[in-house]
């Protein structure tokens, strides 16, 4: 078992003061899974020391709650170890409000403490043989191999771990009635751990029967679990599980209204099936939270605006309606403003039309202003997910690739990324002053030739070198200067075309 030295330090200190200390919770589960993708996100320790006693042993700590959890600062460079939480053994009290236990009662043994935990795979404790390590000084920031350890596993969590089953500790009904958030935690875990994890039958049944308990849970806590589900590669599995267990109706009833809503001759799936399939693609492609949420919600307005039935049904304005409904959902769930604003924009414009032959640069610029150029890549990703979610074979057809090419081209042009006279370290006025010239075409000609020089030799882009070249140009007869100017401008046009070809190549158009 590989244990960070910071954790061993803490366990040693507890043991030197004659207290018990165990590694508990999600990190034990993650350690036993031996999956490199599931390394512990945080480390929790349980002890029989009381909060005051913990603080006496670890002066650099904070105790700011009533749950017996003291946060220890470790000076570790590893963000998962900077703060380690030590919690006094607890047993669960009565939950009259279905949210918090009425009173925290401390327990005497680790076994009692494990009883209050939610799922069998989270209810294991690791006891290390710290005796042998006691007097060794440890280097900070290293992991040490610990050979002597004991797993305390009264609910057969290890067995469920190998069988990939989420099972409530003890009576699932009681568990969920104590804390309704566990309803979502079960599904979140089933998604986070990996695709083939499932929820044990009785536990699943109890989630369904207790789904209304979610109404006692704060929107913020629901939102956090919802985000965690959406951010796993198994997001679509999570949404289907939320639906199957009736939890989706508690979180986003608007989404369940799309179930069974058929579309028209252009679609093979109902709105609901299309939405979760779109999300599935976005999650598998590891796209941003906003692209995932948009994929899930983009057609949520369709049931409200549907006209007609069968192959000719229409959904005019569903993008407006959808943006409005999504705004309501995201506000209700207290999503941060930048997230909801982006999602609302992406839904509002997900129907953008692009035709390589017809769409003008001006139309693209207008779209860029409306959606925001920082969101345009994600808009194309939404379109990809939308296509795959509709059953199309190709995510990025010629048209969509061509759209991205045009966007990049328009952006380069409007943002002046292409080389222009502006990059020169000398301007027309400088030339007029230096060489006593009259304003006129001669100035433009000299500048064009200088730009060409600089594009070939960027190191010449300084006042001294440019003036030296200009000095020679000023002496030339007009027709010779014009000839040189034409040549320079032709080379410049070639360069722009080359740039365009490069962007085209990037998008295979």
Region near ligand ATP per CB under 6 A, out of 13-21, 36-44, 146-154, 249-257: 36-44
Residue 155 CB neighbour total at 10 angstroms: 20
d(C-alpha 14, C-alpha 132), whole Å: 14
42 binds Mg ion (CB under 5 A): yes
The correct pick among 9, 44, 160, 452 for binding ligand ATP (CB under 6 A) is 44
Which partner from the list ligand ATP, Mg ion, none does 406 bind, CB cut-off 5 to 8 Å by kind? none
**What is the tally of helices (H) and strands (E) in the chain?**
24, 13
182 binds ligand ATP (CB under 6 A): yes
CB nearer to Mg ion: give 84 or 404. 84
Smallest gap, in angstroms, from Cβ of residue 343 to ligand ATP?
A: 24
Region near Mg ion per CB under 5 A, out of 23-31, 215-223, 254-262, 406-414: 23-31
d(C-alpha 483, C-alpha 489), whole Å: 10
83 binds Mg ion (CB under 5 A): no
CB nearer to ligand ATP: give 64 or 309. 64
**Those residues with Cβ within 8 angstroms of residue 42's Cβ, 6 or more apart along the chain or in another chain:** 26, 27, 80, 83, 84, 85
Region near ligand ATP per CB under 6 A, out of 39-47, 278-286, 323-331, 454-462: 39-47
55: left (phi over 0), alpha (psi -120 to 50) or beta: alpha
Smallest gap, in angstroms, from Cβ of residue 186 to ligand ATP?
A: 10
The correct pick among 117, 292, 302, 387 for binding ligand ATP (CB under 6 A) is 117
CA nearest neighbour of 113 among 199, 22, 26 = 22
Pattern 298-327, ligand ATP, x by CB under 6 A: ------------------------------
CB nearer to ligand ATP: give 115 or 476. 115
Which partner from the list ligand ATP, Mg ion, none does 179 bind, CB cut-off 5 to 8 Å by kind? ligand ATP
CB nearer to ligand ATP: give 176 or 287. 176
81 binds ligand ATP (CB under 6 A): no
179 binds ligand ATP (CB under 6 A): yes
Residue 152: both structure tokens together: 């305390």
Residue that the structure tokens 């710290």 belong to: 130
The whole-angstrom distance between residue 479's C-alpha and the CA centroid of its chain comes to 61
d(C-alpha 165, C-alpha 255), whole Å: 28
80 binds Mg ion (CB under 5 A): no
CB nearer to ligand ATP: give 1 or 363. 1
d(C-alpha 285, C-alpha 192), whole Å: 16
C-beta of residue 274 within 8 angstroms of C-beta of residue 388: no
Q: What are residue 91's DSSP bridge partners? A: 105
Total of chain residues touching ligand ATP, rule CB under 6 A: 13
C-beta of residue 390 within 8 angstroms of C-beta of residue 267: yes
Residue environment code for 108-129, b if the CB has 16+ CB neighbours within 10 A, otherwise e = eebebbbbbbbbbbbbbbbbbe
Phi, psi angle pair for 86, to nearest 5°: -110, 125
CB nearer to ligand ATP: give 169 or 426. 169
Contacting residues toward Mg ion, per CB under 5 A: 26, 42
Contacting residues toward ligand ATP, per CB under 6 A: 25-26, 41-42, 44, 117-118, 122-123, 179, 181-182, 185
């Amino acid at each position: 078992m590989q244990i960070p030295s910071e954790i061993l330090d803490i366990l040693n200190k507890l043991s030197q003061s004659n207290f018990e200390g165990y590694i508990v919770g999600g990190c034990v589960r993650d350690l036993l899974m031996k999956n490199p993708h599931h390394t512990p996100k945080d480390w929790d320790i349980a002890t029989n020391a009381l909060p005051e006693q913990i603080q006496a042993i670890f002066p650099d700590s904070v105790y700011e709650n009533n749950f017996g959890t003291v946060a220890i600062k470790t000076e570790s460079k590893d963000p998962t170890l900077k703060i380690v939480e030590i919690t006094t053994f607890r047993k669960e009290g009565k939950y009259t409000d279905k949210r918090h236990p009425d009173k925290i009662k401390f327990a005497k043994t680790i076994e009692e403490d494990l009883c209050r935990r939610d799922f069998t795979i989270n209810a294991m404790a690791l006891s290390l043989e710290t005796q042998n390590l006691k007097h060794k000084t440890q280097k900070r920031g290293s992991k040490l191999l610990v050979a002597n350890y004991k797993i305390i596993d009264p609910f057969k969590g290890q067995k469920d771990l190998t069988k990939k089953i989420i099972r409530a500790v003890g009576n699932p009904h009681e568990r969920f009635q104590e804390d309704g958030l566990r309803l979502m935690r079960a599904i979140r875990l089933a998604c986070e751990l990996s695709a083939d994890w499932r929820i044990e039958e009785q536990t699943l049944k109890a989630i369904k029967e207790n789904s209304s308990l979610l109404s006692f849970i704060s929107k913020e806590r629901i939102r956090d679990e919802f985000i965690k589900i959406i951010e796993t590669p198994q997001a679509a599995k999570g949404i289907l599980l939320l639906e199957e267990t009736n939890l989706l109706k508690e979180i986003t009833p608007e989404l369940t209204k799309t179930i069974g809503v058929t579309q028209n001759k252009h679609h093979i799936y109902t709105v609901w099936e299309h939405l979760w399939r779109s999300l599935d693609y976005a999650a598998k492609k590891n796209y941003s939270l906003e692209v995932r949420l948009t994929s899930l919600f983009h057609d949520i307005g369709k049931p409200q605006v549907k006209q007609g039935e069968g192959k000719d049904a229409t959904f005019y304005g569903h993008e407006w309606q959808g943006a409005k409904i999504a705004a309501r959902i995201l506000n209700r769930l207290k999503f941060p403003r930048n997230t909801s604003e982006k999602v609302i924009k992406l839904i509002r414009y997900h129907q953008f039309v692009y035709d390589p032959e017809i769409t003008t640069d001006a139309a693209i610029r207008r779209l860029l202003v409306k959606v925001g150029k920082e969101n345009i890549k994600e808009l194309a990703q939404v379109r990809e997910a939308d296509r795959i979610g509709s059953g199309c074979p190709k995510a990025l057809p010629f048209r969509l690739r061509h759209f991205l090419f045009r966007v990049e081209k328009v952006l380069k042009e409007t943002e002046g990324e292409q080389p222009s006279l502006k990059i020169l370290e000398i301007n027309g006025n400088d030339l007029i002053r230096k060489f006593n010239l009259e304003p006129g075409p001669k100035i433009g000609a000299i500048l064009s030739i200088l730009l060409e020089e600089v594009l070939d030799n960027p190191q010449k882009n300084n006042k001294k070198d440019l003036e030296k070249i200009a000095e020679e140009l000023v002496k030339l007869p007009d027709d010779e200067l014009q000839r040189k100017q034409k040549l320079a401008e032709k080379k410049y046009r070639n360069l722009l075309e080359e740039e365009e070809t490069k962007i085209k190549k990037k998008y295979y158009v």
